[in-house]
Amino acid sequence: MQERYGNVKRANAFYDNQVLDYLTPEMREFILRMKMAFIATADQHGECDNSFRAGPPGFIRVLDEKTVMWPEYKGNGVMASMGNIMENPYVGILMVDFFETAVGLHINGHARIVENQAVEAFGGIFDRLAFATPFVESPEMKKTPERWVVVAIEEAYVHCSKHIPMLRYLDGEESKEAEVGRRAGDVFKAKNGERAWLQPPVCSPEYDAEPAVAEAPAEIGTVRFAQPPPRRHTPQPIRK
């Protein structure tokens, strides 16, 4: 498509300057401010689903520059996203700041499902990694995650502000003016970031599939494992 519509040069420039396989400090700070995200998954046949997740700022935990996780709460019982992850662990996350900077952040990677009991067992460690964001919501909300989705990051890149509308909250409080310097250009300081795939490859190991569901405590029972499709060893140029 890039060749067909004459976008190869622009696409390659974006790929070379903005696409990383890890989170920059600016990306991590952005995630910790976000209250919502759109989650894209697909089953083993490629049929897609897009879902919405929301919570207090930082509900998507940043564990390190290569890993994020979000909580799953009791819902309508369909469990479409997690069902897809069981068959095909690749996920796409889009977070958009509609209220301050009018930019977004894409994260693509492969996911696994971890039962909440396993997370609670390491809660103190995860709290420190996630900048002390509590793993159980406030007593007023009376919400405890049933399980978590942990994503190993393969691509992270900006969604520019060109067509993102600025919104304001219903309480009448005016949204902050977008910072011009953050709305355009290298918002997440990705341009000069390291890109391993630009270096001569040492080897091309086969992808060792990881289970899509982590081992739950014995009382939870047996869990199923998914066999993911072949992994992309390096990020691919973005196709719009």
Distance CA 63, CA 79 (A): 24
* pLDDT for 197: 67
Instruction: Say how many domains are in the chain.
Output: 1
Q: 142, 73 in Cβ contact below 8 A? A: no
Tell me what the mean pLDDT of segment 49-60 comes to.
93
Domain-located, residue 226: no
Q: 223, 216 in Cβ contact below 8 A? A: yes
CATH code, domain with 197: 2.30.110.10
Q: 157, 163 in Cβ contact below 8 A? A: no
Residue 200: which domain range? 8-220
pTM for the structure as a whole: 0.70
pLDDT at 112 over 70: yes
Domain-located, residue 236: no
Tell me what the mean pLDDT of segment 43-55 comes to.
95
Q: For residue 136, how far is the Cα from the chain centroid?
A: 21
Distance CA 21, CA 157 (A): 9
* pLDDT for 36: 95
Q: Which two tokens stand for residue 236?
A: 């691919």
Q: Which amino acid is at 195?
A: R
Domain-located, residue 237: no
Tell me what the mean pLDDT of segment 9-38 comes to.
94
Q: What is the band of 221 on the pLDDT scale with cuts at 50, 70, 90?
A: very low
pLDDT digits (tens, 9 = 90+) for 157-213: 999 888 899 998 876 554 444 444 445 567 777 888 887 767 654 444 444 445 555
Domain-located, residue 80: yes
Considering only CA atoms, which of 95, 127, 107 is closest in space to residue 22? 107
Distance CA 216, CA 238 (A): 36
Q: What percent of the chain has pLDDT over 70?
A: 68
pLDDT digits (tens, 9 = 90+) for 117-160: 888 777 666 555 544 444 444 444 557 889 999 999 999 999 98
CB atoms closer than 10 angstroms to residue 197: 11
Domain-located, residue 3: no
Distance CA 112, CA 149 (A): 6
* pLDDT for 194: 81
CA angle 27, 60, 24 (to 5 degrees): 15
Q: 90, 112 in Cβ contact below 8 A? A: no
Domain-located, residue 240: no
Half-sphere exposure (Cβ direction) of 124: Cα atoms closer than 13 Å: 0
Domain-located, residue 184: yes
